[in-house]
Structure 1
Amino acid sequence: MHTPGQHGGPGDTDPESEGDALTLGRRIRERRAQLGLTLDQLAAAVDRAPSQLSAIENGKREPRLPLLRALASALDVTVDELLLDEAPSERAALEIAVERAQRGAVFRSLGIQPIRVSKATNDETLKAILGLHQEVERLHGERAATPEEARRANTELRAEMRVAGNYYPELERAASQLLESVGYSGGPVSQQAIATVAEKLGFSLHYVANLPHSTRSVIDRRNGRIYLSSNLPSRDARAPILRAIASLVCGHEEPRNYGDFLRQRVEANYLAGAVLLPEESSVELLSAAKKERQISMEDLRDAFGVSYEMAAHRFTNLATERLDLVVHFMKAHESGTLIKAYENDGVRFPSDALGNFEGAMVCRNWTARTVFAQPDRFNPWYQYTDMAAGGTYWCTSRVEKAKEGLYSVSVGVRFEDVKWFRGRETPHRTKSFCPDDRCCRRASSDLTRKWESAAWPEAATPTSLLAALPTGTFPGVDSHEVYAFLEAQERLA
Structure 2
Amino acid sequence: MAGRRTLAGDDEDVLDSLTIGRRVRRLRVDRGMTVGELGDAIGRAASQVSVIENGKRELKLAELQRLARALDTTLDALLEPEALSRRDELEIELERAQRSPLYSSLDLPALPVRKSLSDAAIETILTLHGELERLHEQRAATPEQARRANAELRAEQRARDNYYEDLEHAAAELLAAIGHRGGPLSQRATSELAAHLGFTLHYVGDLPATTRSIADHRNHRIYLPIRQPGTDARSALLQALAAHVLDSPEPHDFGDLLRQRVETNYLAGALLVPQASALEYLTEAKAARELSVEDLRDHFAVSYETAAHRFTNLATRHLGIPVHFVKVHASGAISKAYANDEVQFPTDVLGAVEGQQVCRWWSARQVFEVEDRLSPYHQYTDKPSGTFWCTSRIESSTSGDFSVSVGTNFAEAKWFRGRDTKRRLPSRCPDPSCCREPSGKSTAYWEGKAWPSARLNASLLAAMPDGSTTGVDKVEVYDFLDRHATPHP
Q: If the TM-score is normalised by the length of the shorter chain, which range does it land in?
A: 0.7 to 0.9
Whether 2:418 is the aligned partner of 1:416: answer no
Q: What SS is found at the alignment partner of 1:123?
A: coil
- CA deviation after TM superposition for structure 1 residue 24, in Å: 2.4
Change (3 A) 1:21 1:304: same
Whether 2:16 is the aligned partner of 1:23: answer no
Q: What SS is found at the alignment partner of 1:418?
A: helix
Find the partner of 2:116 among 106, 116, 124. Answer: 124
Query: After superposition, where does 1:247-258 map in structure 2 within 5 Å?
Result: 247-258=243-254
The number of aligned residues is 477
Distance in 2, Cα, partners of 1:217 & 1:360: 30
Whether 2:445 is the aligned partner of 1:453: answer no
Find the partner of 2:470 among 466, 469, 475. Answer: 475
**Does structure 2 retain, via aligned residues, the 8 Å contact 1:351–1:357?**
yes
Change (3 A) 1:469 1:27: farther
Question: What do residues 188-239 of structure 1 show as CA deviations (whole Å, max 9, x unaligned)?
Answer: 1111111111111111111111111121111111111111111334353111
Residue 423 of structure 2 aligns with which residue? 428
Residue 12 of structure 1 aligns with which residue? none
Distance in 1, Cα, partners of 2:244 & 2:391: 35
Q: What SS is found at the alignment partner of 1:383?
A: strand
**Does structure 1 retain, via aligned residues, the 8 Å contact 2:200–2:221?**
yes
Query: After superposition, where does 1:3-402 map in structure 2 within 5 Å?
Result: 3-8=5-10, 20-28=16-24, 30-31=26-27, 34=31, 36=33, 38-42=38-42, 58=55, 60-64=57-61, 72=68, 75-86=71-82, 92-110=88-106, 122-124=114-116, 132=125, 135-136=128-129, 138-147=131-140, 148-234=144-230, 236-388=232-384, 390-402=385-397
Question: What do residues 324-344 of structure 1 show as CA deviations (whole Å, max 9, x unaligned)?
Answer: 222111101001111111112
- CA deviation after TM superposition for structure 1 residue 402, in Å: 0.6
Question: What do residues 277-326 of structure 1 show as CA deviations (whole Å, max 9, x unaligned)?
Answer: 11122122222222222221111111111100011111111122112222
**Does structure 2 retain, via aligned residues, the 8 Å contact 1:358–1:465?**
no
Report which stretch shifted further, 464-473 or 305-314.
464-473
- CA deviation after TM superposition for structure 1 residue 345, in Å: 1.7
Distance in 1, Cα, partners of 2:110 & 2:181: 52
Amino acid at match of 1:443: P
Distance in 2, Cα, partners of 1:175 & 1:52: 44
Distance in 2, Cα, partners of 1:474 & 1:94: 38
- CA deviation after TM superposition for structure 1 residue 139, in Å: 2.3
Report which stretch shifted further, 105-114 or 432-441.
105-114
**Does structure 2 retain, via aligned residues, the 8 Å contact 1:316–1:328?**
yes
**Does structure 2 retain, via aligned residues, the 8 Å contact 1:39–1:54?**
no
Residue 489 of structure 1 aligns with which residue? 484
Distance in 2, Cα, partners of 1:287 & 1:281: 10
Distance in 1, Cα, partners of 2:26 & 2:315: 34
- CA deviation after TM superposition for structure 1 residue 103, in Å: 3.1
Distance in 1, Cα, partners of 2:20 & 2:72: 15
Amino acid at match of 1:139: L
**Does structure 1 retain, via aligned residues, the 8 Å contact 2:363–2:390?**
yes
Change (3 A) 1:87 1:94: farther
Change (3 A) 1:271 1:54: farther
- Extract unaligned runs of 5+ from structure 1: 10-15
**Does structure 1 retain, via aligned residues, the 8 Å contact 2:251–2:470?**
no
**Does structure 1 retain, via aligned residues, the 8 Å contact 2:361–2:425?**
yes
- CA deviation after TM superposition for structure 1 residue 435, in Å: 2.1
- CA deviation after TM superposition for structure 1 residue 267, in Å: 0.7
Distance in 1, Cα, partners of 2:316 & 2:75: 25
Question: What do residues 360-399 of structure 1 show as CA deviations (whole Å, max 9, x unaligned)?
Answer: 11111111111101011001111122223x2222211101
Q: What SS is found at the alignment partner of 2:16?
A: helix
TM-score, with normalisation over the residues of structure 2? 0.87
Residue 444 of structure 1 aligns with which residue? 439
Distance in 2, Cα, partners of 1:235 & 1:349: 29
Distance in 1, Cα, partners of 2:234 & 2:185: 9
Distance in 2, Cα, partners of 1:300 & 1:172: 18
Distance in 2, Cα, partners of 1:341 & 1:83: 31
Amino acid at match of 2:225: S
Amino acid at match of 1:160: E
Change (3 A) 1:275 1:227: same
Aligned identity (percent) is 49
Distance in 1, Cα, partners of 2:229 & 2:460: 21
Q: What SS is found at the alignment partner of 1:145?
A: helix
**Does structure 2 retain, via aligned residues, the 8 Å contact 1:19–1:96?**
no
Q: What SS is found at the alignment partner of 2:80?
A: coil
Question: What do residues 40-83 of structure 1 show as CA deviations (whole Å, max 9, x unaligned)?
Answer: 53359xxxx9999988664632544x875676466443443222
- Extract unaligned runs of 5+ from structure 2: none
Q: What SS is found at the alignment partner of 2:434?
A: coil
Amino acid at match of 1:453: G
Change (3 A) 1:17 1:458: farther
Residue 13 of structure 1 aligns with which residue? none
Question: What do residues 72-130 of structure 1 show as CA deviations (whole Å, max 9, x unaligned)?
Answer: 46644344322222466566545533443343232344566868x7xxx6323597688
Change (3 A) 1:22 1:159: same
CA RMSD of aligned residues (A): 3.2
Distance in 1, Cα, partners of 2:216 & 2:110: 54
Distance in 1, Cα, partners of 2:452 & 2:160: 42
